[in-house]
Amino acid sequence: MTGSTSKVYVLSCLAFSAFAAAAMAADAARSDKRPALEISRDTMLDPAKTYGSIVIKASHITVDGRGAWIVGATEGNPKDYQGVGVSASGISDVTLKNVNVNGWNVGLRIDHGSRWTIESCNFSDNFHHPEAGWGELGHRGGIVFEYVDHSTLRKNKANRVWDACMLSGSNDNRLEENDFSHASNTCLSLWTACRNRVVKNNLSWGIRIKPGEVHARDSACVLVQAGSDDNYFADNDITHGGDGVFIRPFAGWTSSGNVFERNDASYANNNCIEAQCPRNTYRRNKANHGSHGIWVGWSNETVLEENEACYNGLASGMHNAPWEFKYVPGGPKPGAAGIIMAGSCDHTVCRGNQCIGNNGAGISMFGDNSPQHAYKAFHWVLQGNVIRDNRWGIYMEFADWIDIAGNTLENNRDGNIIRGGTTTNIVVRPDNPGITRPPEVKLVAPAPARPGEPVSVKLGQTFTMDASGTTDPGGNPLSFRWDFTDGSVACGPRVEHAFAKAGPHSVGMTATNGCLSNLAYRDFLAYEAVTEWGTEGQAARWIWEEVQGRDRLHVERNHVTEVGPAVPVDNPQTKLELLDDREIRLVGDASLALRVEPSGNPIRLLYPRTKDAGVPLAGKTELTFWVKMTNPNIHAWKGLMPTVTFYESPTRYCELRPYDDPKNWQGGIGWIYKSVPLHGGPVWKIQGAVPATLNYVSIEFYPWGDGPFRAWIDGMAIK
């Protein structure tokens, strides 16, 4: 914050405080002494009067506050504020303008409504907790929308609150020219909120940190999570956050299709932009003077174009999240990058960015440096970037299939291109001043059933990938390379392939004109057309029970803390439905769907309910199935799951619990392939002896929180 900006902000705070004090002095009664005002018609409030809470009870009306104050607590700590200043439930087509609301747990809360216009209102100085530790404190602060759509927030304020604006389950809204700055958790938070348009807002200073701390406790200016897809952010001030932008998955529930253009996310305590979700686009943003500029770990299929990511990690500025590069000659050397990929990030275009003056690398990409090498930085086009005056220019470690061309690499004091660990298929193409544009890729390939989902194919089924419609703007000849992530590669514009192993696969293609390149990709799920056991129209043959005794599983490499036996409990609050789902399925005509309103306890499914399957296990090696899960609760799941138990009888059984495998805890919205070895293995811990006969099986889920969760199981087979 500059000196002049700081003075303006202090003066505005003083003016606000004086105005609030004068208004409250005019009506000194406490809010809890004033009855709630219910409004059911067009209303203009009295600007000389201080109101208690307001409940809007009718649609198709306008409420004009004319500057009136709606005041809750007039003293005490803001973390203890109670109640809601203005609220509405199930109401639509309302205009609310020119009100001042403070002293409440929530300034404005609307749920299940449409077509609201909120304009020129002030929701500052409601619930605020700068001293809070780690964790979430629920939806509270300035504005909370829950299941509100096609509404507009314009020229409002919400300062000195927990969340300035929370959109939960709220789609197709417009946020324009609001001042949602100076929040102790987030300035704007999206939770399962899609297709919102966020333009020209002040979303700065979303940060919660104590003196001497470095982590800022996951506070952020903009937090996007839990299936918040296809939102558009442009020309916003997102500076001085814990993170500037944080796109965070819970239990694998990612947020995709979001576009960020021309936002300033500089001066972040940690990362100016941090993304752990795939298929998002970042163009012409500023990510300068943070600890890192743009972090895109676990962000497959990302587009990074014409961004600034400069002067990050400097000793004179933010340097709270340096990374250790282990393979630089001379030993470990910490540094912060302009653009950094830490974790899986495949099929990524990084073009035309400026990465200048960073303490570490201009652009860094590295995969898993453990002995397992479970993932790599894979399939990048890295071209036309200005990378100068950094410690290193481009740093690669455990990277594969990186196409480098046309970059300006100057004055990077410890080297322009550094390769550490194992790097393969790194192509540095010669410059050609006559070639200024990359190929324009056109890919014709199998399409998914729903946008953003993988394509489902049977094992052994041949499919075609055709890029022969790809053209070069300069008429240069093109070459093509394909990688099917199963050990197979191919050349040429048109290829055919069939997968031989069940599970996820991601086909990539790079087209080059000899200098510049472009890429395309398609994600696949290869499934086996098995004879299903329990998951093809068999919902009526399953039973369920709620259990206790499964504490949160503490999992470390090669070790799972022992937990007590699962004890069934009778909880009338829990509602659960098992059904055959013919819409969400992968194998055959139906999946087994589980819909549950839990108490937070584990849920155990058993098949068959008669417990008399009589399947001999001699010669059998594994139980395989696909699982898909969604859980909207914070943290979603407890530990690794699901736990699978094979029973001959209640006293003769073996239990298999997953551990030491990231794929075993992912509980996202996508299908995950499970192969459970009957005798245990590197990633499945076995307890008990394998019975000779399988009479029934149980599968356990460990939800976190009291809200609903959904799960699907498909393609289950004993092999």
Report the predicted TM-score, pTM, of the whole model to 2 decimal places.
0.89
Q: Which helix (H) or strand (E) holds 519?
A: strand 517-527
Which neighbouring-strand residues pair with 426?
402
**Local confidence band at 334 (pLDDT 50, 70, 90 cut-offs):** low
> Judging by DSSP bridges, how do beta strands 345-351 and 303-305 pair with one another?
parallel
Instruction: Tell me what pLDDT residue 668 has.
Output: 46
Task: Determine contact, residues 288/309, Cβ cutoff 8 Å.
Answer: yes
Residue-wise pLDDT tens digits, 529-543:
999 999 999 999 999
Q: What is the DSSP code string of 425-477?
A: EEEEPPP-TT--S--B---B-PPPSSTTSPEEEETT--EEEE-TT-B-TT---
Pairing relationship of beta strands 622-630 and 463-466 according to DSSP bridges: unpaired
**Comparison of pLDDT for 5 and 461, the residue scoring more:** 461
Complete domains list, the chain, with CATH: 1-75+84-127 (no CATH), 455-527 (2.60.40.10), 539-718 (2.60.120)
Answer yes or no: is pLDDT of 194 > 60.
yes
- Average confidence score pLDDT of the chain: 88
Q: Please give the Cα distance from 632 to 626 (Å, whole number).
A: 21
Any bridge partners for residue 568, and if so which?
Answer: 547
Strands 559-560 and 555-556: antiparallel
Q: pLDDT digits over 378-388, tens only?
A: 999 999 999 99
pLDDT of 11 strictly over 60: no
In sequence order, the 6+-apart residues with CB closer than 8 A to the CB of 276 are 247, 248, 249, 254, 297, 298, 299, 343
Query: Sheet holding 696-701: strands in order across?
Result: 567-569, 543-548, 603-607, 696-701, 643-649, 652-658, 684-687
pLDDT score recorded for residue 601: 79
Phi and psi at 114, nearest 5°, equal: -140, 155
Predicted confidence (pLDDT) at residue 664 exceeds the cutoff of 80: no
Quick check: 387 and 407 in contact, CB under 8 A? yes
User: Of 12-16, 225-229, 416-420, 505-509, which range is least confident?
Assistant: 12-16
- Give the count of beta carbons closer than 10 Å to the beta carbon of residue 409: 17
Instruction: Give the CA-trace dihedral at 609, 610, 616, 617, to 10 degrees.
Output: 30
What tens digit of pLDDT does each residue of 287-327 get? 999 999 999 988 999 999 999 999 999 989 888 876 655 54
Tokens 């203009």 appear where? 44
pLDDT for the residue 61:
98
User: In this structure, are residues 111 and 609 in contact, taking their beta carbons and an 8 Å threshold?
Assistant: no
Contact by Cβ (8 Å): 373, 422: yes
- Residue 72 pLDDT more than 50? yes
Task: Give the percent of the chain with pLDDT over 70.
Answer: 87
Residue 688 has pLDDT above 90, yes or no: yes
Closest CA to 136 of 182, 184, 77: 184
* pLDDT band at 639; cut points 50, 70, 90: low
Is residue 107 very low, low, confident or very high in pLDDT (cuts 50, 70, 90)?
very high
Structure tokens belonging to residue 705: 């929180």
Return the pLDDT at 87: 98
